[in-house]
A = this chain, B = another copy of it.
């Protein structure tokens, strides 16, 4: 029993699913800016109060709706070639940020976080990009004798394509092969 008492009508799992489904659809159909709690509730065939009961704003709904997708899209199978894994991760990252629905949601939330402390806290609670990169970055770090922290190395890897895409440049201009080489070389350089 999730609930402390077990008394009263239990939370409707179908209502929860309907809301998450609705927000997914609406994000694609009308975009983030036109997403409204009212619209989500109506699309889900759910009372407005029900949405507010479980999520306090559209960012939370959107986060829950896309976080799982995001982690999935950004997880790449490990091989025994770290360089190949880094390349694969960068490809997944570019695809996620530039082309996926979950990525659009992430970018929207990241943007909102720039001027909304609650959203910032929400995103900070789960460093989706950092976590997803951790494994591959760690693999490269281990084999090098770099003194860079995991966080610094991660920024080095993700930063360039992240900047490229978030500033509206064409994702086609990103050469993940080259970025991989540069990343690995930087970490392996003596004294780095």
Contacts and interface: CB of A to CB of B under 8 A. Distances in A.
Interface of A: 31-33, 104, 107-108, 110-116, 120, 123-124, 127, 129-130, 148-149, 151-152, 155-156, 158-164, 166-169, 173, 175, 178, 182, 185-186, 189, 192
A164 to B, nearest CB: 5
A interface secondary structure, majority: helix
Nearest to A186: B182
Given A32-B114, A129-B167, A159-B159, 13 more contacts: A31-B116, A32-B115, A108-B114, A111-B111, A111-B113, A111-B114, A114-B166, A152-B175, A155-B169, A160-B160, A162-B166, A163-B163, A185-B186
A168 B123 contact: yes
Contact of A107 (B115, B152, B159, B161): B115
A110 B192 CA distance: 32
Give the interface centre of A31, A130, A152, A159 by most chain B CB atoms within 10 Å. A159
